[in-house]
Chain A
Amino acid sequence: MILQTALLIGLVIFSVLAIVLRDLLKSAISLAVASLLLGIIFFRMKAPYAGAFEISVVAGLITVLFVLTIALTKSGDDVRESKIANWVFPLVFVAFIVIDALVMKSLLGKVPALPAAAEAGGFGDVLWRGRTLDLIGQIAAILAGVFAVLALFRKKDKHE
């Protein structure tokens, strides 16, 4: 449990670094490390499929997409962030963490997780039989993404 808590603390630290750091490349790498830690947390929760997806897709593919975008928008670092926001963010975040801890401590044991129906079969049965509509939705989401990217990078016709 100590290792799991350390991983969770690391996840929050790298996620906050991803938002706070000025250099976009460092932010993207921090986000990838946070995804990697989340994947390890999933593995330790005995959820290997979600962990493998988190590490391969989120830590790998999405980081590559971010780095590619940062490379294509070279002067992206020039954006002037609000100075007040730079000061306020850590203060409000620390206050939020304190309130979060107090609320969770007060709720401890009072709101139990409701029991769920027992799951039959393995992961394949649950994914392919129990969540079939989700899979159709996933296919639709991927197709929507592909067509959206194609539409956004469409070249002008000669007649236009």
Chain B
Amino acid sequence: MSNTWYLYLFFAAALIGAGVLGLLGKRNLIKLFIAIEVLGKGISLILMGTGLAKASLLTAQALVITYIVIEVSLVATALALIINVYRQTKSLDVRGLSKLKG
């Protein structure tokens, strides 16, 4: 079981690494949000893998479901914000947001 836990941790770390690199390197707002989604998948995998290793899978499932519900709310709000930013700046470039400086 312990080796399986490390396998899940390894792949979860890979997902989190990809997400962080995407956040650092991309400029498109939708791409940045996709990177956040990938990061979230890594977190879900860590929660579930640890739940499996600790034999507390039901609690892990409850936590993952809570995370998914919060994720939906976050996605809806963030995409609405992105659409509004696009209407204002006619671009999805994150550098265009520097115009919002006071």
Contact = CB atoms under 8 A, between A and B. Distances in A.
A42 B45 CA distance: 8
B25 A88 contact: yes
Contact of A107 (B6, B50, B54): B6
B73 A141 contact: yes
Interface in B19-75: 19, 21-22, 24-31, 34-35, 37-38, 41, 44-45, 48-66, 68-75
Contacts of A108: 2-3, 6
A5 B25 CA distance: 28
B21 A141 contact: no
Contact of B48 (A47, A72, A137): A47
A31 B34 contact: yes
B17 A96 contact: yes
A38 B57 contact: no
A47 B30 contact: no
B64 A19 contact: no
B62 A145 contact: no
Nearest to B32: A19
Contacts of A9: 11
A1 B66 CA distance: 28
Contacts of A15: 15, 18-19, 38, 41
For chain A, the bracket of interface size reads 35 or more
B92 A73 contact: yes
A28 B14 contact: no
Contacts of A41: 45, 48
A134 B68 contact: no
Given A79-B93, A145-B73, A148-B80, A96 B38 contact: no
A130 B58 CA distance: 10
A82 B38 contact: no
A84 to B, nearest CB: 8
A45 B17 contact: no
Interface in B58-102: 58-66, 68-77, 79-84, 86, 90-93
Q: Which 5 A/B pairs are nearest by Cβ-Cβ distance? A: A145-B73, A85-B25, A113-B53, A19-B22, A126-B58
